[in-house]
Chain A
Amino acid sequence: MTFIDLNFYFFSALLLAAALGVIASKNPVHSALWLVLSFFSCAALWLLLEAEFLGIVLVLVYVGAVMVLFLFVVMMLDINIEEMRKGFVRYLPIGALVALILAAQMIWVVGPIGPDILDDESLKQAVRHGADYSNTKELGRVLYTEYVLPFEIASIILLVAIVAAISLTLRRRKNTKYQTPSKQIQVKRDDRLRIVKMDAEAKE
């Protein structure tokens, strides 16, 4: 077993343990922290596959942005933990069914009965590259030229996400009062002030 294999087994074990921690811990904050650890070990596994850009993006986007936002919400939101644990028995059959289907799919792909994708020569063993090899460069070379259509589709998907997020969550409050400085500055004397001519009151 080489040093790389040792790292692979270490980070895989860490990933499995962290994933178990996500679903097993009672406190949602602990679950979120376990999820951060599992993202980290997953990024380490991707690095071992020489997908350095993807690994670092996983840390940057998921750990840096998504999980921190998650954690903020989970910490501050009023979640009644007792209330959440009530439905366990009710949802157990559905959860077990989904888990069974997932396990069957994985066994079908990897195991002995399914299609022989693992015998495919191109999937057997990744070629190890030297110190000056840049995976990011290789990715960039094909992503913007050969795979330009999926790349543009990604932008469309992000656009759809923007529109969907806005239309789902944007609520205008009717009763908020706020200032418009430009209108305040542009106001003329005549808009505000009215001089009323009156006769002087005579003394009785």
Chain B
Amino acid sequence: MLENYLPVLIFMAVGLIVGFVLLTMGGFMLAPHKPDEAKNSPFECGFEAFEDSRMKFDVRYYLVAILFIIFDLEIAFLVPWAIVLEDIGLFGVLSMGIFLGVLVIGFIYEWKKGALEWE
């Protein structure tokens, strides 16, 4: 089975080499490297930066993120099920039906609760 993943390994190795070679060639060997104070300062359309880029986040951002991850996991459960659907027959369909049904309850709950609305 592992021989199927040899191309992936070669791809990773080639990607790593290309990245390293290009960065070292471009960044250290070929390009002129003369930093000064003006070049290293943050540039924002010509004027000084108004404020820090870090800020307080609305907690609802996390809510959307967590809900996304939960349904992402649900999709991950669907993949092996779809592959073996012919083998597991009606029982498999029913077990996935219950699984999806429980999650649909959660989906209806969050919809009705207004967790998906941004106001």
Contacts and interface: CB of A to CB of B under 8 A. Distances in A.
Partners in one complex: yes
B81 interface: yes
A7 B72 CA distance: 30
Interface residues of B, number: 53
A163 B70 CA distance: 11
Contacts of B66: 161, 165, 169
Interface string B84-119: 100110011001101110110111011001110001
B49 to A, nearest CB: 15
A178 B119 CA distance: 7
A166 B2 contact: no
Main secondary structure of the interface of B (DSSP, over half): helix
Contacts of B81: 140, 143-144
B5 interface: yes
A140 B88 contact: yes
B102 A57 contact: no
Given A60-B76, A66-B69, A136-B79, A78 B54 contact: yes
B63 A140 contact: no
Contacts of B92: 144-145
B1 A52 contact: yes
A37 to B, nearest CB: 12
A47 interface: yes
A158 B70 contact: yes
Contact of B1 (A61, A69, A128, A170): A128
A4 interface: yes
A139 B1 CA distance: 15
A159 B106 contact: yes
Given A158-B73, A165-B63, A169-B63, A48 B2 contact: yes
Main secondary structure of the interface of A (DSSP, over half): helix
B99 A78 contact: no
Contact of A136 (B2, B68, B80): B80
Given A61-B72, A145-B91, A159-B106, A140 B83 contact: yes
Given A4-B2, A69-B69, A152-B95, A166 B113 contact: yes
A50, A79, A169 pick with most chain B CB within 10 angstroms: A169
A156 B119 CA distance: 29
